[in-house]
Chains A and B, each alone.
Chain A
Amino acid sequence: MRTSNKQAIDSMVIFADQSSRLLSKLWRDQPLILVFLRHLG
Chain B
Amino acid sequence: MAQLRLKHTQLEQAGGRVVLVGMGTPEESAAFVKKLALPFPLISDPERRLYQAYDLRMVSSLELFAPSLVVKAVTAMARGYTIGMPIGNIRQLPGVFIIDTYGGIVFSHIAKDAADHPDTEAILAVLNTLR
Identify the A interface with B (CB < 8 A). Answer: 2-11, 13-18, 23-24, 26-41
Classify the secondary structure of A's interface with B.
loop
Please state if B41 and A33 are interface contacts (CB–CB under 8 Å).
Answer: no
Identify the B interface with A (CB < 8 A). Answer: 1, 4, 11, 15-24, 26, 28-30, 32-33, 40-45, 49-51, 53-54, 56, 83-90, 92-106, 111, 114, 123, 127, 129-130
Classify the secondary structure of B's interface with A.
mixed
Please state if A16 and B44 are interface contacts (CB–CB under 8 Å).
Answer: yes
How distant is B87 from chain A, measured CB to nearest CB, in Å?
Answer: 4
A37 to B87, CA, bound (A): 10
Q: Given the complex, which residues of B lie within 8 Å of A24, measured CB to CB?
A: 103
A30 to B16, CA, bound (A): 6
Please state if A39 and B130 are interface contacts (CB–CB under 8 Å).
Answer: no
Q: Which of A23, A31, A34, A35 contacts B101 (CB 8 A)?
A: A31
How distant is A38 from chain B, measured CB to nearest CB, in Å?
Answer: 4
A11 to B47, CA, bound (A): 14
Please state if A36 and B54 are interface contacts (CB–CB under 8 Å).
Answer: yes
Q: Given the complex, which residues of A lie within 8 Å of B20, measured CB to CB?
A: 35-37
Q: Which of A5, A38, A39 contacts B104 (CB 8 A)?
A: A5
